[in-house]
Amino acid sequence: MKRDPGAAAGAFDRGLEAMERRDFERAIACFTSAIEAGDRPALALSKRGVCRVRIGDRSAAAHDFTSALDRDPRCVPALVNLGNLALEANMLEEARTRYEAALRIDETSAPAHHNLGVVYRRIGRLADSVKELRRAAALEFQPLRMMERFKQLWRRR
């Protein structure tokens, strides 16, 4: 049974707030409502997956990340998160592939650059690792990126 979109208005934002409070069970419930209501479903699936990682359910998290990509193949956070799961499992080639795919979609993804740098370090490509880590740091501290984060924080209040 589909929920009324109006009934879950703001569910995604409530999920983000619950994540910030580290109330992952509540966040999962909010993101589930957002998915059902069509409120940024791919991003909600990716965020729900992150919550599931935080509570130790990596299998369900991987399913959420994959489902996010089924909804939107260009969902960079889901690609990065699948890369993170692969990196944690020491599946370096899969992780590299996921991060590079994310960067083909969004070359300004600081997490993708950072984690690709970690992969490069682990496989011995130190110069490439340093380059990616520097790129991630530069992106993370760009004034426009910081301004956007402040705007997002302000909107959540």
Taking CA atoms, 119 is separated from 53, 58, 75, in Å, by 20, 20, 21
pLDDT in tens, 104-136: 999 999 999 999 999 999 999 999 999 999 999
Taking CA atoms, 17 is separated from 22, 57, 117, in Å, by 9, 21, 30
**What is the predicted pLDDT for the residue at 8?**
43
Taking a C-beta distance cutoff of 8 angstroms, is the pair 5, 37 a contact?
A: yes
pTM over 0.95: no
CA dihedral 30, 152, 72, 52 (to 10 degrees): -40
**What is the predicted pLDDT for the residue at 152?**
60
Show the domains of the chain with their CATH numbers: 1-72 (1.25.40.10), 74-157 (1.25.40.10)
CA 114/CA 108 separation, integer angstroms? 11
CA 100/CA 123 separation, integer angstroms? 15
Q: HSE of 38 in the Cβ direction (CA atoms, 13 Å)?
A: 5
**What is the predicted pLDDT for the residue at 140?**
82
Residues in the chain: 157
Spans in the chain with pLDDT lower than 50: 1-8, 156-157
**What is the predicted pLDDT for the residue at 118?**
97
